[in-house]
Structure 1
Amino acid sequence: MLVYLSLAVATGAALTAWQAGRREAAAEASHPPQGQVLVVGRHRVHVVEMGRPKGSAPDLVLIHGSSGNTRDMTFRLAPALAKEFRILVFDRPGLGYSDRLNGTGATIRQQADVLRQAAAQLGAEKPVVLGQSYGGAVALAWAVDHPEALAALVSVAGVSHPWDTPLDTFYKVTSSRIGSALAVPALTAFVSRATVMETLDAVFAPQPVPDGYAEHFGIGLTLRRNSLRANARQRANLLSEVKALAPLYSRIGVPVEIIHGTADDTVSPNIHARQLVRDVPSAALTLLEGIGHMPHHVATDAVAEAVHRAAARARLR
C-alpha cells in the first residue's frame, strides 16, 4: 500500500508540474515582454517605455499593484498620458518579467530602490512617480528614502497606513513553505479561468471589468508559480513594512496627489487616503464618489488629471 501510495503521489506531482509548465509556457507565448530588460545589480528589470521622446516631456514612472504587471498600466492609463509625458512602466521585482530580489519577498523599500535605479539608467532622474494599490506603498517608500530622486508623487488607491484585518487565507497558504510547495503548483496547473474572472470582478467592484482588460492583461502571467510565490510573500510582509514606513511620511516634501474611490473595499480610503493627507503636508486628496479599487481603469480621466496637477505643482514642463 505504501508503494502504491508513493507512486500515486509521485504521479500526481509529475502531472501537476507538467500541466503548470505547459500553462506557463502558453502564458508567456501569448503575452511576451513588451519592453526592454535592464540589469540593476544582478537583477533584471522589465520596463515598457511609452509616450514622448526622452528630454521632450516630464518623466512619469507607473508602478502596478499586487498580482500585476506592466500590462495593467498600459491598458488605459499610459495611453491617456502618452501625449504629455515620457512614460516608464515597470514590472515590480518578482512579477511580470522582472527578477525577484530574494526568496523571502522583496520589501517595498527594496523594490523602490531597484526601480529608482532602473529609472535613472534611462535618464529619469526626477520623475513623477505614480503607484496604484501595493504600488502606492512602493511609491511612498521611494519618496521617503530617496526624496531627491522624484519630482512628485501620485497615489492611486494606494496602501499607506496599517490596518487591523488579518492576512487573507489565500496569502497565508501561498506564502507558507507547504503552500508554496504544494498549493502554488496546483493553482498554476488547474485553476479555472472562471475563478480568475470572479477574482477580477471583486477587484473592480462596484464597476465592471472593462471589455478587453483580461485579454490585454494576461491573467496567465499572474498565475505562474514564481509570480504567485513572489506576490504572496510580498503581501504577507506588507503590513509590517507599512508600520515601519508610515511614521516617516513627514520627510516627504514633494507635491503629492492622492486619488481614491469612496467605494474601495480593498484598500479603505478612510484607513489610507484620509490618513495620508493628514500626515503629508504637501498632499492633496481627491475622492471619487462611488468608484472602487481600480480608478485608473474606470475613472482614467480623473487619474490623468491628478498626474497633470502633480506635474504642474512640481513646475515640470
Structure 2
Amino acid sequence: MSTTETVLLIVLAGLLILLLGNIAFQVAAERKNPPIGIFIECDGVHLHYIERGDAGAPCVVLFHGNGTMIQDLILSGLVDRLAHNYRVICFDRPGFGYSDRPRTRIWTPKTQASLFAMALDQLGVRQPVVLGHSWGTLVAIALALRSGHAVSGLVLASGYYFPTSRMDFWLMSGPALPLLGDLMRYTISPIISWAIMPKLMRTLFAPRAVPPAFKNEFPLSMALRPKQLRAAAEESAFLIPAAAQLQRQYQDIRCPVRIVHGTADRLIEADQSRRLHEALPRSLLHLVENAGHMVTYADPLAIADAVATLALTAPTRIA
C-alpha cells in the first residue's frame, strides 16, 4: 500500500469515527433532553411547542432566535412572567429543538410565517401579540404582514432589519451547503462549535455576565446536534437577503410595534432598531442601557410591559 493510499485510508477512517461519534452524540443529547412540550402536525411539518397560562386569556406567541430553542425563552423568565396574565405559546422554530425542517423548502421568514399562521389557526389563536427575538423578529414581522392573519401587535427584541456588510454571517453558513455542509455537520462542525461556544455565549450576553440559569440549564448539546447546526447555518445565510426583502414592506405593517434593543449589543448593532423605529411611525423604541444581544434576560420586565400594552385590545381564545 502506497503512502498516499495509507493517508487516504486514515482520513476516511477518521471521518467515519467522527460521523458515528456525532450520530451517537445526537442520540445522547435527545435522550438527556426529551421534548418539554407537545406536537402539532401542520402542512406536513412536525412542530414542537409549549403552552402556558390561561387558555381563555389573550394570546402571546413567542419566537426564539437563531441557534436556540424554547428553553432560551423559558430561562429568560419571559414565559413564566407572561403566563400570569396571558395564554402563552412558544414554538421551536423549524429545525430547532424538536421541530422538523424539511429540506424540500427554503425556510425564509415568510415560509416560517406561513407555517405558523396555519399552526395558530389549528390552535384557535386569533390576533395574538407576537414577540420575536433576534432572527425571530423577522418571522414575527412576516407573520404581521400576512393579509390573512392579523396580529394585535409586535414586540421586536434585538432584531436585524436592514442589510449591511456582514462577513461573519456568511462564514457561519458553511454547514448549510449541500454535500460539503452535510459532511461538515457530521464531522468537524460540532467540535468547532463546541470549542467556540463559551466565547460566543460571552459575546451574546456582554457586557453582562452569562446568567447562571442559562449556563447551567440551557441544553447546549441539543444546539450542537448536526441537524440543528444545519438550521442555524441556513439562517445565517438567509439573514441579510431576508432583511433586504422585508425592508421594502415595513411601511405595510399596520399593528402597533414595540422595539427593544440593548445599547451594547455586540452581535447586532442598536442602530438597526433605531432605523426601524424611524421607518415605523406607530412604533415605540426602548433602548436598554448596558445590555447586549440577549436583552430578553437583561430587561424581561420592560419586554413584558411592552406585551401588556399591546394585549389590552387582543381578543380571547376562539370558542
Name the TM tier (shorter chain): over 0.9
Which position in structure 1 is the counterpart of 2:258?
257
- Taking the TM superposition and a 5 Å limit, the aligned residue runs for 1:259-278 are 259-270=260-271, 272-278=272-278
Shift of residue 59, structure 1, vs aligned partner:
0.4
The whole-number CA distance in structure 1 between the counterparts of 2:191 and 2:230 is 16
CA contact (8 A) 1:105 1:231 kept: no
Aligned to 1:159, the other structure's residue is in SS state coil
CA contact (8 A) 1:188 1:224 kept: no
CA contact (8 A) 1:260 1:295 kept: yes
Structure 2, unaligned runs of 5 or more: none
Structure 1, unaligned runs of 5 or more: none
Shift of residue 265, structure 1, vs aligned partner:
2.1
The whole-number CA distance in structure 2 between the counterparts of 1:205 and 1:186 is 30
Which position in structure 2 is the counterpart of 1:73?
73
Which position in structure 2 is the counterpart of 1:13?
15
The whole-number CA distance in structure 1 between the counterparts of 2:250 and 2:99 is 28
The whole-number CA distance in structure 2 between the counterparts of 1:194 and 1:139 is 32
**Structure 1 counterpart of 2:19, one-letter code:** A
Q: Deviations over 1:252-275 (max 9, x none)?
A: 1111111111111211111x2111
CA contact (8 A) 2:127 2:151 kept: yes
Percent of pairs identical after alignment?
32
The whole-number CA distance in structure 1 between the counterparts of 2:194 and 2:249 is 41
The whole-number CA distance in structure 2 between the counterparts of 1:248 and 1:189 is 37
Q: Deviations over 1:107-152 (max 9, x none)?
A: 0110111112112211112111000000011111111124643111
Note closer, same or farther for the CA distance 1:208–1:8 as it changes in structure 2 (3 Å cut): same
Q: Deviations over 1:288-307 (max 9, x none)?
A: 11211111112111111111
CA contact (8 A) 2:258 2:284 kept: yes
CA contact (8 A) 2:190 2:226 kept: no
Which position in structure 2 is the counterpart of 1:305?
305
CA contact (8 A) 1:167 1:236 kept: no
Which position in structure 2 is the counterpart of 1:99?
100
The whole-number CA distance in structure 2 between the counterparts of 1:255 and 1:189 is 41
Matched, 1:32 2:31: no
The whole-number CA distance in structure 2 between the counterparts of 1:170 and 1:236 is 9
**Structure 1 counterpart of 2:286, one-letter code:** T
Which position in structure 1 is the counterpart of 2:47?
45
Aligned to 2:196, the other structure's residue is in SS state helix
**Structure 2 counterpart of 1:79, one-letter code:** D
TM-score w.r.t. length of structure 2: 0.92
Shift of residue 10, structure 1, vs aligned partner:
2.4
The whole-number CA distance in structure 1 between the counterparts of 2:86 and 2:311 is 10
Aligned to 1:209, the other structure's residue is in SS state coil
Aligned to 2:20, the other structure's residue is in SS state helix
Shift of residue 34, structure 1, vs aligned partner:
0.7
Aligned to 1:5, the other structure's residue is in SS state helix
Which position in structure 2 is the counterpart of 1:119?
120
CA contact (8 A) 2:46 2:99 kept: yes
The whole-number CA distance in structure 1 between the counterparts of 2:277 and 2:181 is 37
**Structure 2 counterpart of 1:33, one-letter code:** P
Note closer, same or farther for the CA distance 1:146–1:268 as it changes in structure 2 (3 Å cut): farther
CA contact (8 A) 1:104 1:233 kept: no
Which position in structure 1 is the counterpart of 2:175?
174
Shift of residue 238, structure 1, vs aligned partner:
1.7
**Structure 2 counterpart of 1:183, one-letter code:** M
Root mean square deviation, CA, Å: 2.0
The whole-number CA distance in structure 2 between the counterparts of 1:127 and 1:49 is 14
Which position in structure 2 is the counterpart of 1:282?
282
Moved segments of 4+, more than 3 Å: 167-170, 187-195, 314-317
Which position in structure 2 is the counterpart of 1:63?
63
Aligned to 1:149, the other structure's residue is in SS state coil
| Structure 1, 3-12 or 286-295: larger mean CA deviation | 3-12
The whole-number CA distance in structure 2 between the counterparts of 1:93 and 1:148 is 19
TM-score w.r.t. length of structure 1: 0.92
Shift of residue 193, structure 1, vs aligned partner:
5.0
Note closer, same or farther for the CA distance 1:83–1:194 as it changes in structure 2 (3 Å cut): same
Note closer, same or farther for the CA distance 1:24–1:153 as it changes in structure 2 (3 Å cut): same
